[in-house]
Structure 1
């Protein structure tokens, strides 16, 4: 085999190995997934890959994948260090998750599921799945006093308190295929220490596709979403009449907010800062994929005043049905629909990571867990496409490095061989050749 053939063979092996490893460690774009932060690991569960028929959940391409990011080390947001964990026993979307403060188990509550290796989506769901991240094990607990109407519940956002009680309000059994459905307005409570379920008496209008944030004083704050006016009638919820639930005495109340002009929305996210502010991000204004405005807003829960942080709206990613968590001073968002590129009939999905420094309200591209501030160029809506080119560039660099290494080795080997004169073996020359080797 000559030098050129050697180079071709080694180059092909390097390229195949690189692309095999690279493709295995990058999740596909998706939305309607759920996420949870467990220590330094940010987990993402399930989601929908489909880009069409967004109004028909039964036509979705549902995944059971579990991915996580290790936030204890630095990385570039264009090439996050993705890790894939053991998959769920079901494909899962339109549900929610919360982490137990007692044993750090993840509870997936409500949502819709797809039974793996079957042809159809089961639009109901076992009410709760539990994930032990230490041993990557999924279980379905036995629940005492479970309310069977909860099996078809989605469009919810549960929260869990310091005592291990999960509070889940409202939701719907809507399946997305224009069949009859119900909008719920009850509060369900699961005590995870005893696996006991209870449902409180109905007292207010139902909500769905909202955000729920538990304050340190035990108050749950419900923002945005759709509010029910009858069993099947709903409308966008006001951002200035905010429903709250007191987990100490189980009472509801309405907080009248004021301040900046904040548009109603669904499909948004919310995180709680250390000083008691709730930051909401993204979402839809209506069913036509119109982005909610402003795209980011902050609610002071001591004064109930809205304000709009000074963040570049031009280059901010327009996301809906994405994931968001707060890690130190970083608001980390991932996946979801890219609204600026989507329409009613077609959705452009993201598998990108966006990180907002909430101390300075600047987008960062270099994540450092030991630093809380950074002045980096904000990502654009084309971030999804830029990641591809960055990945290709990095891959090309690795391939070229491998090629140069192989070529250098082969040239060195050939040079070494050429240091000695060549002989045509004849009787009596064998020993001389062996001595020169």
Structure 2
């Protein structure tokens, strides 16, 4: 082989190695970055085949709040393993956000952030002048803030720890909450009014006080049944305007009829379910409300028990599913139902927290509600026929470490591969130079190095 051909081959090989190394390093960087930080008090919404998560607080200091404006979503259109979820980051919100809620319009799939604590993004500074409503168009990843809400009640401006619902006509129903923001404020209030936001006309109305309305509620769940009944479960209640709220018994179920604006109280029976706050609830197709997680009302470091329960809304009877393994412990998390899968993400870990430190999670858990078995594989096309796979619940202390080790491990492996490739090339080059020493050009010699 001529020295010119050797030079050409070696140069091509060197360029290819450099290109490959750049691709490997870029892939490693993107892979390590595309994992959301642990957080709690975020809100979430299912839009088509995407499960969105908005905001949350990712500080572990129990005495400090740092609300993020990040927006993440899971792509549920294809199969994945819970160890490597298909996380995607969308455009951020105009404000940092926590302890509010997101409602998806059934008309155009717009997301309405209602109430909540609003911060200057990623700081501990609360922006008290923010609008109580922000709108997200998921089709074009665009945030807007309504300039005018007709009939808006200004007392709602700082409302948080609420759980609104939205009906098929695009009306958002908001009950209870508090204006307490965690700041050193001389006064704050609990509310038991019912507000309605018509998202089609951006009209706000606050209903007149009901004589039979429940006391102010917060950190409870609200579930809208197909009949138009809103079911409120758990949380705090405030009695007689006292500073200290009290737990709501899980046998004390408040309901509101959105068709005739009538409150009713249901007494639930069945299994004994402990009081709780910061839990989640999803509605199944057969009319059962599955509640998950939470902590006891007066100590966020103690998990509520049992960790999972279901309420039959036709008989108002509680039952406790038989799970083969212990459930992961979470509060202030997110939960959504997609087919037969209950998808649970983020939140605080009560048993690993203290009065000054919050242990946070960014793990993803999936419960097959047909078999009440934790699974590690998500398959959108075979959710009903998916064979149950037991899940080994990771240690809460290692929630973030597991993700970091995966990213760092892949990145380190890719870098080492690139290094070995470069070293291999240098050894190859030295060997070729020994076999083909440089020639001294002479007249008539057409070979080139």
Q: TM-score, normalised by structure 2?
A: 0.87
Calculate the aligned-residue CA RMSD, in Å. 2.9
State how 1:240-279 maps to structure 2 within 5 Å: 240-279=251-290
Distance 1:392 1:115, change over 3 A: closer
Q: SS of 1:121's equivalent?
A: coil
2:96 touches 2:122 (CA, 8 Å); kept in 1? no
Q: Which of 305, 312, 316 in structure 2 is aligned with 1:293? A: 305
* 1:137 positional shift: 1.1
1:307 aligns with 2:312: no
Matched, 1:209 2:219: yes
User: CA deviation digits over 1:343-400, x for unaligned, max 9?
Assistant: 1110011111111111111111121111213322322334614333344444445445
In the alignment, is the contact (CA less than 8 A) between 2:101 and 2:163 conserved in 1?
yes
Report if aligned partners of 2:68, 2:122 keep a CA contact under 8 Å in 1.
no
Distance in structure 1 (CA, Å) of the matches to 2:183 and 2:126: 12
C-alpha contact 2:67 2:123 (8 A) present in aligned 1: no
Structure 1: gaps spanning 5 or more residues: none
In the TM superposition, what are the counterparts of 1:94-243 in structure 2 within 5 Å? 94-116=99-121, 120-123=125-128, 125-141=130-146, 142-177=148-183, 179=185, 180-202=187-209, 203-231=213-241, 232-243=243-254
Aligned 8 A contact 2:99 2:116 in 1: yes
8 Å contact 1:325–1:333 — kept in the other structure?
Answer: yes
Give the distance between the partners of 1:304 and 1:118, measured in 2 at CA.
44
Match of 1:40 in 2: 49
| Contact 2:230-2:255 within 8 A present in 1 as well | yes
Q: In the TM superposition, what is the alpha-carbon distance from 1:422 to its structure 2 partner?
A: 2.8
Distance 1:249 1:345 in 2: 46
Change in CA separation of 1:399 and 1:371 when aligned onto 2, cut-off 3 Å: farther
Partner residue of 2:72 out of 67, 75, 78? 67
Deviation at 1:308, TM superposition (A): 0.8
- 2:86 corresponding residue in structure 1: 81
Counterpart Cα distance in 1 of 2:410 and 2:124:
39
Alignment partners' CA distance in 1, 2:122 and 2:34 = 23
Distance in 2 (alpha carbons) for counterparts of 1:409 and 1:70: 40
Answer yes or no: is the 8 Å Cα contact 2:24–2:418 preserved in 1: no
Partner SS for 1:69: strand
| Comparing 17-26 and 168-177, the one that deviates more | 17-26
User: Is 2:439 aligned against 1:424?
Assistant: yes
| TM-score w.r.t. length of structure 1 | 0.90
Q: Matched residues in 1 for 2:184 and 2:122: separation?
A: 26
Could you tell me how far apart the structure 2 residues matched to 1:157 and 1:221 are?
11
Q: How many Å separate the matches in 2 of 1:245 and 1:302? A: 15
User: 1:29 maps to what in 2?
Assistant: 38
Output the CA distance in 2 between the equivalents of 1:423 and 1:152: 79
Q: Give 5+ residue unaligned stretches, structure 2.
A: 1-9
Q: 1:284: which partner in 2?
A: 295
Give the whole-Å Cα distance in 2 for the aligned partners of 1:93 and 1:268. Answer: 15
Q: Which of these residues, 87, 91, 97, is aligned with residue 92 of structure 1?
A: 97
Q: Is the counterpart of residue 376 in structure 1 residue 381 in structure 2?
A: no
Query: What is the distance in 2 between the residues matched to 1:144 and 1:426?
Result: 88
